[in-house]
Amino acid sequence: MDAETVDAVVIGMGPGGEDVAGRLAEAGLSVVGIEAELVGGECPYWGCIPSKMMIRAAHLLAEARRIPGMAGTSTVTPDWAPVAERIRAEATDTWDDTVAVDRFVGKGGRFVRGRGRLVAPDRVEVGDQAFVARRAVVLATGTAPAIPPIEGLADTPYWTNRGAVAATEVPGRLVVLGGGAIGAELAQVFARFGSAVTVVEAADRLLPLDEPEAGAIVAGAFAADGIDVITGVGAERVAHADGAFTVTLADGRTVEADELLVATGRRADSAGLGAGAVGVPDDARWVPVDDHLRVADGVWAVGDLTGKGAFTHVAMYQAGIAAADILGDDHEPADYAALPRVTFTDPEVGAVGRTEADAREAGIDVAVGVAQVPSSARGWIHKAGNEGFIKLVADRERGVLVGATSAGPVGGEVLGHLALAVHARVPLATLRTMIYAYPTFHRGIEDALRDLDA
């Protein structure tokens, strides 16, 4: 197959890939962007944006239900129709990426629809076309749901996050496999819209990658929302008949549902991408990169498939570094020590850096400080829905924070202060002498610092 020579080829046009491709095109390079699905990737069509629209609507229902005892009386009647319509009209253009394609082409790029595959370090094939890249190939194909090998599951019409986001009706009964961020967020949404929800998490708690306190506080909120939570046991078998799912757990219990959402993690398709052409094993869960996002000479990777965090903000951060490296511009190497992440449940759980367990495993002399949101002035004022805490993880020897968690009504917003402190390695002494506005939720950081024995 004859190949056309260009400056750069970007395989995968999600947030990171689109950003790299656009930067290179604006710098005057001839750039081909390849995407098999939708330009913009998971985030605007099935992830961040539409799911947060769902969450916003569910939170409104919860707030309305909190009126009694504080501001009068309320009657709440959930209606999924405006949520489904907003996702189609405002977020996804009914899953049409014309605007995004035009945005990239308008920067001088060339778009090719198809599934790109790396066949040599500088050669990409897509359909009946081939391109040789003079300067760079960028891999940015993201990840897909990792579907566990549960007996019978593959033969059923289960949902992933995409099915849940595209739903036009709320199921009467929903089982969610996986109690991580995606499973937890969507479980709470559907419960607040009237589904009878059961969450099954094989680990011993919800949000198993976060602090144990985070899982515990979300479990409490789920109980208040009527969500059944089963932890410490996985699903062993799934069957589907007469429009209903039957999930058999490893301990013999069964759970039935009208819909089954599988939210058990994600993984890259290294083999399908052809990453073996640069030495990446076909069974690799992620594509390894250095701190300049290089995979091999002339090949870079950005976004979820690098395994540095399945977040749009990580992809965009990496995109800036990769583009600068390709263009020969000065740049700082990637540093994930202060990587922020937010689970948009209610309460919202924001976290940055290391957990207490991670820090101890790394051999750090750890000090911990905790403050409870309801005990703060703002938490007491807030009253209904004020569950939350702030937990600080400090390196006693260096006198800086290495991690923190902020759970509460605006946990992700309070996290901004903590992420800056971890990123900039702000001395604890400096944090303690700041003036914290009163009465705010972030003032709870001051309370947690008082509890910190460092």
Could you report the average pLDDT of every consecutive run of 10 residues in the chain (454 residues)? 94 98 98 97 96 98 97 97 98 96 98 97 96 98 95 98 98 98 98 98 97 98 98 98 97 97 94 94 93 97 95 97 98 97 98 98 98 97 97 98 98 98 98 97 97 87
The pLDDT value recorded for residue 2 is 87
The pLDDT value recorded for residue 53 is 98
Distance separating alpha carbons of residues 337 and 332, to the nearest angstrom: 14
The pLDDT value recorded for residue 314 is 97
CA angle, residues 109, 145, 295, in degrees to nearest 5: 50
The pLDDT value recorded for residue 119 is 96
Burial 345-384 (b: 16+ CB within 10 A, else e): bbbbbbbbbbbbebbeeeebebbbbbbbbeebebbeebee
The pLDDT value recorded for residue 265 is 93
Q: Tell how strand 299-301 and strand 294-296 pair up.
A: antiparallel
Neighbours of 314 (CB within 10 A): 22
| Burial (CB count <10 Å: 0-12, 13-18, 19+), residue 99 | exposed
The pLDDT value recorded for residue 453 is 85
**For the chain, what's the residue count?**
454
Place of tokens 């400096």: 430
The pLDDT value recorded for residue 211 is 98
Burial 315-343 (b: 16+ CB within 10 A, else e): bbbbbbbbbbbbbeeeeeebeeebbbbbb
CA angle, residues 209, 210, 212, in degrees to nearest 5: 110
Cβ–Cβ < 8 Å for 388, 413: no
The pLDDT value recorded for residue 1 is 78
Distance separating alpha carbons of residues 431 and 424, to the nearest angstrom: 12
Distance separating alpha carbons of residues 222 and 188, to the nearest angstrom: 7
The pLDDT value recorded for residue 293 is 98
